[in-house]
Structure formats: C-alpha cells, structure tokens
Chain A
C-alpha cells in the first residue's frame, strides 16, 4: 500500500518533463488496453459458444458510456503503438538518444493528428445513436428501448429464463 501511494504521488510530483509524462502515458495506456482486451476476448468467445449472451452484451456496449470508453481505448491503442515504435527505434539506435525530446514531440503530434478527427467521428456516431430510440432484434422477436442509454431486456435473448 505504501508503495502504491508513493508510486501515484511521485508519478505526478516528479518533474521529469515530456519524457516522464510520456513514459507514464505509455504505461497507463498499456494497462488500459489490457483491461479492455481481457473483457473483449472473453466476451467475443461467446459469439461462438453462446451467441445469445454475446448479442445482449454488444447491445449494452453500444450505449453511450461504453462508447466513450471505446473512444478512450482507441486513443490508447494509437498513442501506445506510436510511442512503442519510438521506444523500439531508439533502443535500436542509441546514437539517436540526444533526439529523444524531439522524438517525444513527434509522437504526440502524430497521435493528435490521427486521433482528433477519428475520435470526433466516433463521438458523432454516439450522438447519432441517440437520435432514435433503439430497436433490438433477436430470434425473430423485437423490443424497443426508451433511450440510447437503455439496456436491452435479457428476456429477449432468452437469458435467465
């Protein structure tokens, strides 16, 4: 616990500038992607093993809060991959280390160029999904929700009955 508190406070307090913040961002992005990936892998396996359960979960994941989380994971993947390539390149070319500060700036700029427009596009998709109440269809039956925030009824998918 002591280590955890020291880690969190020092990560914020220590003023290592862009290199240190980028290291922290790389680590947090990696952990965030992993958390998503574990859920995503076990959930997607259900598409094959239990299609009705999978069908219900993907409708839940289409609601706005999960949509925002998806945009965050998308940004994390982009940043972590660009920065991972930078780390790999500099590990391979130690003679370039004096350019590390510039390389960090390049990674953040490239990341923003790709992420901002695509992130906005995904955000518009969420807004768009809220223009009409959702209609869910499963095994020849349909149900409607009150708003884009509504979860589909589990009974439609024959879950827990």
Chain B
C-alpha cells in the first residue's frame, strides 16, 4: 500500500493505492458497469418504453428485434451487465444488515448460482431465438 499525502489549502488528501482484492474489484465494477448501463439500460428503457410505445409490444415485435445480430448482442450485454451489477449491489445491501458470516456465505453462493443460471437461460433464449417460429406461433401457422 503506497500512500502519498498532499496538502491543498486546509484539506489533506491521501492518495492510497490498494492492492487488488475482490472487494476493490467489485467496487470498481459497480462504477464501470454503471457507466456502461447508462447507455445500455437507460437507452433500452427510452427506446422500448418511450419510442416504441409498450402498448404495441408483441411477439412479432420481439421476433423482429431478435432477427438482427446487433440487437441480440445489445440485449445480451444488457443482460450480463445489469444482472451482475444488480446482484452484486444486492449482496452489498445484505452485507450491511446480515452479520452472520456463515449465513452470508450461503447467501453469496445462492446469489452466484442464481446469477449464472439466469444469464445462461436468458442468454440461450436470445441466442437460439427463431424469429420465423415466433411469428408462426403468433399467426397460428
């Protein structure tokens, strides 16, 4: 841990370099994924809720979006970043209130399993989506 101390006016600023550890990486991830989510999550909400009025949402609409690789990649990136950021945030919240280390360990394992299963399940749904079959189901053909 290297520390540099500088004095500007009446305040003391300590620049501390912390060696990489899990909590530091998680802290940095919350910030970097947050910046990415401003584009992915806010963009997604603006697009789907405001510009493509939700009242028109249909299976055909989703089929059309998932016939484009660009939107598939967008949706998968959003899936990975939003869920990982949200579940890690949830872990942070729980750690503030649950002080039993054993219980927290079990919860952390369950959260990781839930995160991985959700990403694999929904990621596979996007990757394997068959727009022609989705349209056929909607039209009853």
Contacts and interface: CB of A to CB of B under 8 A. Distances in A.
Interface in A20-55: 27, 30-31, 33-34, 37-38, 41-42, 44-49, 51-52, 54-55
A85 B38 contact: yes
A48 to B, nearest CB: 4
Contacts of B24: none
Contact of B13 (A84, A91, A95): A95
Interface string B34-72: 110110011001000110011101110011001000000
A27 B90 CA distance: 9
Contact of B137 (A30, A88, A94, A139): A139
Contacts of B63: 47
A4 interface: yes
A31 B58 contact: no
A30 B93 CA distance: 10
A-side interface size class = 35 or more
A125 interface: yes
Contacts of A38: 83, 118
A140 interface: yes
Interface of A: 3-4, 7, 27, 30-31, 33-34, 37-38, 41-42, 44-49, 51-52, 54-55, 58, 62, 70, 74, 77-78, 81, 84-85, 87-88, 91, 94-95, 118, 121-122, 125, 128-129, 138-141
The 10 closest A-B pairs by CB, nearest first: A139-B140, A45-B125, A140-B140, A34-B86, A48-B125, A48-B129, A51-B137, A84-B34, A47-B62, A88-B31
